[in-house]
A = this chain, B = another copy of it.
């Protein structure tokens, strides 16, 4: 390993990728950052801006090829910030990282923690990638980050804040009293930058979170800070479970389903009903706790996030 840690990022222009790259660029003496971009995308504004900020842009397709192995050779860390629609590309990246002798591979986890199977289809798909990594004995760190502040609130009646309903926990799950771990997605990179430079996290899962809030507490805080009254819409355990069962029945019949509907029902069920997404459960499940490892990280508290939101400093995610 040279004096600088060489890090290649796939999906550098996405929400998580942007958070990661921003954090790595904040300490240029520590990291040399490469963005892996499809040759057809290198001309895009996002990549031109990254290049201007000092990121090396490597045009390469994420498929089984000598070019990909070549592109990864010499990288200390490969970080994958991709969606679950890109599983084939992920496996190609894993295989190439193994062949290139990459020192640490970070698969695209970055979600709430839960048991490997039987709770979330999304987690099962990630687990499949992780298992593939293990079969190759490729050094890895899997990082989960809880639920985002950015997907935690319904729109404000005044219109000051707009939510993307389909991706958010706009409804109150169950009675709204289940606490769960939340993170500001702008902070994800801060954790990642610490984790990938830390030998303690090699071949481990790590759980990151900024704070722990129940929906009732978080909504009360939002009402207090905004001065607006927010109507509550509830979704029950039974409604979520029947939605999950319907999607699963559909999948069993046709091998296809409405993945967004299934995914969001499972997210809400694990967050608000099962209560998997807490640091205690994460520890049971084998995760290291990033807050214990790095007490020096100044994580944005929910109150600051709400203030930024009310001040119009943030756009709704995926908007």
Number of copies: 2
With an 8 A cutoff between CB atoms, is A318 at the interface? no
Given the complex of chains A and B, what is the CA–CA distance between A117 and B115 in angstroms? 15
Comparing A2-10, A24-32, A278-286, the segment that makes contact with chain B is A278-286
- Contact partner of A119 (CB less than 8 A), chosen from B119, B135, B284, B286, is B135
Residue pair B203, A286 in contact (C-beta under 8 Å): yes
With an 8 A cutoff between CB atoms, is A134 at the interface? yes
Residue pair A116, B137 in contact (C-beta under 8 Å): no
Which single residue of chain B is at the shortest CB-CB distance from A275? B137
Which single residue of chain B is at the shortest CB-CB distance from A286? B286
With an 8 A cutoff between CB atoms, is A261 at the interface? no
With an 8 A cutoff between CB atoms, is A229 at the interface? no
Which residues from B are CB-within-8-Å of A116?
A: 116, 131, 134
- Contact partner of A118 (CB less than 8 A), chosen from B135, B283, B285, is B135
Which single residue of chain B is at the shortest CB-CB distance from A283? B203
- Contact partner of A281 (CB less than 8 A), chosen from B132, B137, B204, B284, is B137
Given the complex of chains A and B, what is the CA–CA distance between A231 and B84 in angstroms? 52
Given the complex of chains A and B, what is the CA–CA distance between A80 and B119 in angstroms? 25
Which residues from B are CB-within-8-Å of A283?
A: 203
Which residues from B are CB-within-8-Å of A115?
A: 131, 134-135
Given the complex of chains A and B, what is the CA–CA distance between A219 and B203 in angstroms? 35
Which single residue of chain B is at the shortest CB-CB distance from A203? B284
CB of A119 to closest CB in B, whole Å = 7
Given the complex of chains A and B, what is the CA–CA distance between A131 and B124 in angstroms? 11
Which residues from B are CB-within-8-Å of A135?
A: 115, 118-119
Contacts A117-B128, A134-B284, A203-B283 supplied; 10 other A-B pairs, CB < 8 Å: A115-B131, A115-B135, A116-B131, A117-B131, A118-B132, A118-B135, A119-B135, A137-B284, A139-B284, A203-B286
- Listed from nearest, the 9 A-B pairs whose CB atoms lie closest are A115-B134, A117-B131, A115-B135, A203-B284, A118-B135, A115-B131, A137-B284, A118-B131, A116-B131
> Could you name 15 residue pairs across A and B whose Cβ atoms are closer than 8 Å?
A116-B116, A116-B131, A116-B134, A117-B128, A117-B131, A118-B131, A118-B132, A134-B284, A134-B285, A137-B281, A139-B284, A203-B283, A203-B284, A204-B286, A286-B286
